[in-house]
C-alpha cells in the first residue's frame, strides 16, 4: 500500500510538469480563424524552455526554439487573400496541434459598451437576419468579460463559423458591419467582439500605470494578432459622468494607445455618435457636448463617425434596435476610406463654416450633395441667436449645398445651433439619406472626416 501511495504521489507530482511540456497556443489561434491578409503575421505560444517548435502552413515550414521562459513565436510573411480557400496549420513540439479551416482575409475588432455588445437576437429584424446569417467566409470570435490589474496573455474563447446557430448572441453592429465589408470586398472577414455593457472609456484605455482593466483582460491578449481596424460604440456612460468636451481627449488616448499596441499608427478607427435619449441620467446640455466631442474626434486621422439621430424609434430606450443601419453606416466609412471603394457616400452633412449676411446666417457643410429634408417637410431643429445669446426657433432653407437660417425677430444674428438637445430628431439629410450631425456654431471644435 505504501508503494502504491508513493507511486501515486510521484505521478501527481510530474503530471503538471508534463503538461508544461506541451506546445500551446493562446485562444486567439484556432480552427476556423481568419488570418489578416497583406501584413506580416506573428504566431506565438508556450512550450518547455529550449523546446524546438515547428510550424507548417500550406507548403511553407518554419522553426524556432522556446526561450528560457518557455515562450516562442514564429513570424510568417504577409499572405494574400486567395478567394476563401481553406488552410491548415500544424504546430509541433513534443506534441502536435492541428488547426483547420483557416481563411485569409480581413480581421476587425468591435468594442465599446452595451450598444456594441447588443446582440442580433435583441435587435430589429432578428428573425430575418438570423435566418440569413449563414456565411461560410465570415468568422466570429467573442471575448468574455474579464477585468485584470495587469495585461493578460490569453482569453478563453474560440473562433466559430458564422451560421444561423452561432450568430444570435453575437454583436449585431459588428456582424452587420462585417457582412457589408464581406459583400463589397469578396474576402473572408474575421470579427472579434470585445465589449462590456455600461463600461466607460477609461478601462479600455492603454495607460502607463496599467489601470485599464478591461484593456488588460479583453484587448491585451490579442494585440499581437494582426487586424485591419476597429469599430467602437461607446459614450453613454461618459455622458452620464458629464465628461462633455473632455471626451475628445479620452478618445484620442484610446485611439493612440490601441494603434501603438497593435503596431499600426494608421489603424482605422470608426465609431458611432451615440443616439438621442430622454433618460434623466443625462444632465442638461451634456449629450450635445458629447456629440461635439465625438465630432472633434474626426480631426484624428483615419477615423470616421456614424450618426444615429434618425434611427431612434423609442426615445426612452438608450439602445436603438436598428443595429443593421448602424453597422452599415460604419461600413460606409471603412469602404470609402480604407478600401477606397469608388462612389461610396460615407457621411451625412457635417458643419463646416458659417457666414453672416445681414439678417441671415449661411451654413456650409461637408458631405452636402443633395441636401434635403428626409420627411419632405420644412427643415427642423434649427435655432438662431443674436448678441444676447438667446436662441429661438428659426426658419431654415436649403440653397444649393448650403442652409440659410433666419428668424423674424432677430435682425443681427450671431450664431446657430442644430439638434442641440438630448431628444433631437432633426430631418436634414444629404442625397444618400444620411443624417446631419447636431452642431452649434459658437467656438465649434468638430471635424468633417474629409
- Look up the domain containing 217 and give its range: 104-338
- Name the more confident of 377 and 4: 377
3-state SS, residue 259: helix
pLDDT above 70: residue 113: yes
**What percent of the chain shows pLDDT beyond 70?**
95
Q: What is the pLDDT of residue 264?
A: 98
Is 1 a member of any domain? no
Which residues make beta-bridge pairs with 258? Answer: none
Residues 417 and 318 in one domain: no
- Is residue 394 one of the residues assigned to a domain? yes
* Exposed e or buried b per residue across 296-327, where buried means at least 16 C-beta atoms within 10 angstroms of its C-beta: bbbebebbbbbbbbbbbeebeebbbbbbbbbb
Q: Does 295 fall in a domain? A: yes
In a domain, 8, yes or no: no
What's the confidence (pLDDT) of residue 21? 65
Q: Is the pLDDT of residue 20 over 60?
A: no
Average pLDDT (423-446) is: 98
What's the whole-number mean pLDDT along residues 94-119? Answer: 98
What pLDDT does 267 receive? Answer: 99
Mean pLDDT across 329-347: 98
Q: Give 62-84 pLDDT, tens digit per residue.
A: 999 999 999 999 999 999 999 99
Same domain? 95 vs 120: no
- Is the pLDDT assigned to residue 211 strictly greater than 70? yes
Tell me, yes or no, whether 127 and 204 share the same domain: yes
- Give the mean pLDDT of the chain: 95
pLDDT (mean) for 311-316:
94
Cell numbers describing residue 358: 445681414
**Domain tally for the chain?**
3
For residue 109, what is the domain's CATH number?
A: 3.40.50.1110
Quick one: 40 and 168 in the same domain? no
Query: How far apart are alpha carbons 296 and 298 in whole angstroms?
Result: 5
Grid-cell match 453597422, residue found: 327
Residues 183 and 274 in one domain: yes
Asked whether residue 119 falls in the same domain as residue 238, the answer is yes
Same domain for 168 and 283, yes or no, is yes
Q: 189-199: string of b/e by CB count within 10 Å (b at 16+)?
A: bbbbbbbbeeb
Amino acid at each position: 500500500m505504501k508503494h502504491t501511495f508513493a507511486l501515486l504521489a510521484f505521478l501527481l507530482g510530474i503530471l503538471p510538469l508534463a503538461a508544461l511540456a506541451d506546445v500551446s497556443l493562446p485562444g486567439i489561434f484556432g480552427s476556423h480563424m481568419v488570418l489578416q491578409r497583406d501584413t506580416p503575421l506573428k504566431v506565438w505560444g508556450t512550450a518547455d524552455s529550449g523546446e524546438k517548435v515547428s510550424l507548417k502552413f500550406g507548403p511553407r515550414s518554419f522553426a524556432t526554439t522556446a526561450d528560457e521562459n518557455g515562450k516562442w513565436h514564429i513570424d510568417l510573411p504577409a499572405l494574400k487573400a486567395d478567394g476563401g480557400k481553406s488552410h491548415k496549420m500544424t504546430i509541433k513540439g513534443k506534441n502536435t496541434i492541428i488547426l483547420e479551416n483557416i481563411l485569409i482575409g480581413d480581421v476587425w475588432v468591435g468594442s465599446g459598451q452595451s450598444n456594441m455588445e447588443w446582440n442580433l437576437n435583441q435587435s430589429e429584424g432578428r428573425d430575418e437576419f438570423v435566418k440569413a446569417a449563414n456565411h461560410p467566409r465570415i468568422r466570429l470570435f467573442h471575448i468574455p468579460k474579464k477585468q485584470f490589474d495587469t495585461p493578460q496573455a490569453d482569453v478563453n474563447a474560440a473562433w466559430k463559423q458564422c451560421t444561423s446557430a452561432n450568430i444570435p448572441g453575437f454583436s449585431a453592429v459588428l456582424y452587420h458591419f462585417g457582412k457589408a465589408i464581406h459583400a463589397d470586398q469578396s474576402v473572408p472577414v474575421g470579427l472579434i467582439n470585445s465589449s462590456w455593457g455600461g463600461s466607460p472609456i477609461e478601462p479600455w484605455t492603454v495607460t502607463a500605470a496599467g489601470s485599464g482593466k478591461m484593456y488588460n483582460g479583453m484587448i491585451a491578449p490579442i494585440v499581437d494578432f494582426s487586424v485591419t481596424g476597429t469599430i467602437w460604440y461607446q459614450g453613454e456612460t461618459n455622458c452620464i459622468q458629464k465628461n462633455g468636451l473632455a471626451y475628445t481627449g479620452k478618445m484620442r488616448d484610446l485611439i493612440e494607445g490601441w494603434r501603438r499596441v497593435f503596431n499600426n499608427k494608421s489603424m482605422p478607427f470608426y465609431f458611432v455618435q451615440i443616439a438621442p435619449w430622454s433618460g434623466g441620467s443625462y444632465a442638461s446640455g451634456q449629450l450635445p457636448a458629447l456629440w461635439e466631442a465625438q465630432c472633434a474626434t474626426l480631426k484624428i486621422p483615419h477615423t470616421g463617425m456614424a450618426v444615429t439621430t434618425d434611427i431612434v424609434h423609442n426615445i426612452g430606450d438608450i439602445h436603438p434596435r436598428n443595429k443593421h443601419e448602424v453597422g452599415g453606416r460604419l461600413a460606409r466609412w471603412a469602404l470609402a476610406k480604407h478600401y477606397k471603394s469608388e462612389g461610396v457616400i460615407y457621411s451625412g452633412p457635417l458643419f463646416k463654416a458659417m457666414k453672416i449676411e445681414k439678417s441671415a446666417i449661411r451654413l456650409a457643410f461637408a458631405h452636402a450633395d443633395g441636401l434635403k429634408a428626409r420627411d419632405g417637410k420644412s427643415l427642423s431643429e434649427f435655432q438662431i441667436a443674436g448678441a444676447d445669446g438667446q436662441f429661438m426657433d428659426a426658419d431654415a432653407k436649403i440653397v444649393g449645398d448650403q442652409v440659410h437660417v433666419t428668424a423674424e425677430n432677430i435682425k443681427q444674428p450671431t450664431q446657430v445651433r442644430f439638434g442641440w438637445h438630448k431628444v433631437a430628431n432633426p430631418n436634414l439629410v444629404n442625397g444618400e439619406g444620411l443624417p446631419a450631425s447636431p452642431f452649434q456654431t459658437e467656438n465649434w471644435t468638430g471635424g468633417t472626416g474629409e
